[in-house]
Amino acid sequence: MGTAPIAVALDSREIEVLREWVAETREIVSTLKIGLETFYRVGAEAIEIVRESGCDLFLDVKLHDIPNTVAGAAAALARYSPKYLTVHASGGPEMVRAACTALPETFVTAVTVLTSLDDQVLREVGISTPALDTVVRQAVSAVEAGARAIVCSPHEVARVRSEVGGDIVLITPGVRPAGSAPDDQKRVMTPVEALAAGADLLVIGRPITGAEDINSAALAIAREIDLS
């Protein structure tokens, strides 16, 4: 079957828990994602565990600052050799370009509209265009600035694909197996639906790491994808 195009979100405060999650999923999934909480708490140790696993390292720190600062931060993270490194697309093309220049071997990954947001929340923060239009505009701008991957919800992935072409890696959080609780995600799809829409890599956290049997949960999703 090979490894599934899944990035398991390693959101844990405890390094031993994280180590267990990696051990239970490393032979099933292609990628392991370290987010902000884990990076701030146990960053270097967590990264070493991912490196030892043989999976791709997805460093999800969502850089967002002036271009010079982002360039310096990206350069500082180069020692970890991440496959993917996230920046906020809303930081603008010069900021995205600065990260790409600092990490030419990494897939600088532009995060568009967070999957915890919907049109109503966007209006509350002063963005009048619908999420779909905002995502597409940000994705196109980021790719033109050098981003090699885009994060968007599965609801926008088909439209983004049509705009950025087939060479850009499209990564979709907000993926939940059928019957799973959406938690704090608002724009969600099942794994099969997200891949059919054009996603390349699915970010899945709690449906796997919150399961009683983590290995079985990851394997069930991988098989569902493989059989679709």
Residue spans of the domains in the chain: they are: 4-227
* pLDDT at site 187: 56
Say whether pLDDT at 228 is over 70.
no
pTM score: 0.91
DSSP 185: -
| Given the residues 33, 62, 83, 186, the one annotated as active site | 62
Helices (H), the chain: 15-25, 36-53, 67-77, 93-102, 119-124, 131-144, 157-164, 191-197, 206-209, 214-227
Question: What is the per-residue pLDDT across 198-219, written as a single tens digit (0 to 9) for each?
Answer: 999 999 999 999 999 999 999 9
Active site residue 62: yes
* pLDDT at site 185: 47
Supply the Cα-derived Rg of the chain in whole angstroms. Answer: 17
The pLDDT of 222-227, averaged and rounded, is 86
Question: What is the per-residue pLDDT across 131-184, written as a single tens digit (0 to 9) for each?
Answer: 889 999 999 999 999 999 999 988 899 999 999 999 999 999 988 776 565 454
CB count within 10 Å of CB 51 equals 13
CATH number of 4-227: 3.20.20.70
pLDDT-derived band of residue 49, with 50, 70 and 90 as boundaries?
A: very high
* pLDDT at site 175: 86
